[in-house]
Amino acid sequence: MATPGIMIAAVERCASEIDDLDTLVRLHWPRVFRFALASLRDPDAAGSVAQDCFLKAYRSRERFRGECSTEAWLMRIAVNLIRDYARNRRLQFWKRAQTSAVDLDAAGQWVPDGGASPESGAMAKEQLAAVWNAAGGLSERQRTVFLLRFVEDMDLLEIAAATGMKEGTVKVHLFRALQAVRERIGRSQ
Amino acid sequence: MSQHLSSQEISQWMIGERTPQQEQHVRQCSQCGAELDRLEAALALFRGSVRHWSGRQGRAEPPAIASMSPARGSRIQPMRWALVAAALLVLAAVPIYRNAQDRQRQAEIARADALLLEQVDAEVSRAVPRPMEPLVKLVSWDFTSTDERDENRRDTTRNEEIR
């Protein structure tokens, strides 16, 4: 168990990290941008959301009390911004989908070069496309916890802190998301 | 545990909820092990493709701080202030305009009242009401005083003597 001294030092470290916007952006931008991109599937929108996320974090740094990690706090802001963005831009979804369709296709077809046979490569591409499609069909909350768990490698407690959900609720959403993904992968075979 | 993992148990396994019996079964059962490996491989591919896609974007690298907030904030803030100022001006101008109109209307009413009063004064100060004025001319009433009449008479006598 962490002693009060260690906890205070951790909070002070987080606070000083947040006070320095340059360091904050340098350390966490790739992750925030990636999460926004995977959620919105629109590079422009993801860039705007990531930028707004850091601005909001910096402006409200006084309210950060260190009850979670800087990363979880940033992700929480990003989750809220992505949700607001998706709600506000629902009508523009198809326009966005058209502009990013080429990129998204490329992402869904991407398979690392590992000297695999053409057959296994084709199967991997099918599975990957199935996961992309399944993730696109998930509800907003399911997709958020799915991306935080399986793209950002966050554990359940970190996801709970980032989404504001209870750990049990995170589990339920994650379970449903996995069921949907597995069903889709099963259909693709 | 001899039974294979159910669909639900496989999803729970992926979340991290697993019992020691299930772990032992997966170690021994190639079918369940293969199913979990396949799912983990698909998820790892997905993770890799998201990271690859994100890395290919120009925005994947942190932007310069100078190009971020203040520039955008400074563009938005003056616009907001200008809008607020314009709204305040409109709000302030409406009562002022209304006041000016009211004052003009009151001045017109005051002028009309003064004119009316003058007319009333003129009517009241007449010796004879306006409808009776023609009669007065016909009768030619002598309204002059006694002294005036004596003086008139003296003037007449003087004029006769001169002749």
- C-alpha to C-alpha distance for B72 and A48, rounded to whole angstroms: 11
- CB spacing of B50 vs A34 below 8 angstroms: yes
Model pTM? 0.64
Contacts A22 to B, Cβ<8 Å: 65
**What is residue B73's predicted lDDT score, i.e. its pLDDT?**
44
pLDDT in tens, B47-95: 999 988 888 877 667 776 666 654 444 455 667 788 888 888 888 888 8
Does an H or E element contain A83, and which?
Answer: helix A70-88
Question: Where a domain ends, among A91, A125, A140?
Answer: A91
Structural domains of chain A, count: 2
Considering the domain architecture, whether residues A82 and A121 belong to the same structural domain is answered as no
In tens digits, what is the pLDDT along chain A, a chain of 189 residues?
Answer: 455 565 555 555 655 666 677 888 888 999 999 999 999 988 888 998 999 999 898 888 887 777 778 888 899 999 999 998 887 765 555 445 545 555 666 666 677 766 567 777 788 888 888 999 899 899 999 999 999 999 999 999 999 999 999 999 999 999 999 999 999 888 766
Contact A131 B51 (CB under 8 A): no
Query: Are B46 and A128 inside 8 Å of each other by CB?
Result: yes
Asked, for residue A68, whether it belongs to a domain, the answer is: yes
* A2 plus A86 within the same structural domain: yes
**For residue B86, how far is the Cα from the chain centroid?**
9
Which chain B residues are Cβ-neighbours of A147 within 8 angstroms?
Answer: 50
Q: Is residue A13 part of a domain?
A: yes
A interface test, pick of B6, B32, B39, B50 with most A CB neighbours within 10 Å = B50
Within-domain flag for A62: yes
Q: Which two tokens stand for residue B62?
A: 């942190």
Reading phi first (left if > 0) and then psi (alpha if -120 to 50, else beta), residue A139 is in beta
Chain B positions with Cβ closer than 8 Å to A: 7-8, 10-12, 14-17, 38-39, 41-43, 45-54, 57, 59-63, 65, 68-69, 72-73
Task: Identify the pLDDT of residue A5.
Answer: 60
Residue B64 φ/ψ, nearest 5 degrees: -65, 135
Q: Return mean pLDDT, chain B.
A: 80
Residue A147 CA to residue B43 CA, distance in Å, equals 10
A60 and A131 belong to one structural domain: no
Measured between CB atoms, does A19 come within 8 Å of chain B?
no
Contacts of B32 in chain A (CB under 8 A): none
**What pLDDT score does B72 carry?**
46
The answer to whether B42 contacts A130, with C-beta atoms less than 8 Å apart, is yes
The closest CB to that of B62, out of A25, A58, A111, belongs to A25
pLDDT of residue A185: 85
What is the number of other CB atoms lying within 10 angstroms of the CB of residue A169?
Answer: 15
CATH number, domain containing residue A86: 1.10.1740.10
Residue A33: domain span: 1-91
Closest chain A CA to residue B44: A150
Are B61 and A27 a contacting pair, CB within 8 Å?
Answer: no
Residue A173's pLDDT is 96
Do residues A35 and A75 make contact, with C-beta atoms less than 8 angstroms apart? yes
Domain map of chain B by residue range?
1-61, 127-158
Q: Is residue A170 situated within a structural domain?
A: yes
Same domain flag for A26 and A57: yes
Nearest-angstrom CA–CA distance, A129 and A151: 15
User: Given a cut of 50, is residue B152 above it in pLDDT?
Assistant: yes
CATH (domain of A178) = 1.10.10.10
Query: B46 near A128, Cβ under 8 Å?
Result: yes
The predicted structure's pLDDT at residue A1? 47
Point out the domain boundary residue: A62, A91, A120: A91
Length in residues, chain B: 163
**Same domain, yes or no, for A86 and A116?**
no
Single-letter residue type at A101: A
> How far is B12 from B28, CA to CA, in rounded Å?
19
Confidence of residue B33 (pLDDT cuts 50, 70, 90): very high
Are residues A3 and A9 in contact, defined by beta-carbon separation less than 8 angstroms? no
pLDDT at site B70: 45
**Contact between A34 and B51 using a beta-carbon 8 Å cutoff:** yes
Is A99 among the domain residues? no
Name the residue facing A51 among B38, B42, B68 (closest C-beta).
B68
- Quote the longest CA-to-CA distance of chain B: 169
Residue after which a domain boundary falls, among A91, A120, A154: A91
B51 — alpha (psi -120 to 50), left (phi > 0) or beta? alpha
DSSP A103-168: HHHHHHH----S---HHHHHHHHHHHHHHHHHHHHS-HHHHHHHHHHHTS---HHHHHHHHT--HH
A34 and A86 share a domain? yes
pLDDT of residue A148: 95
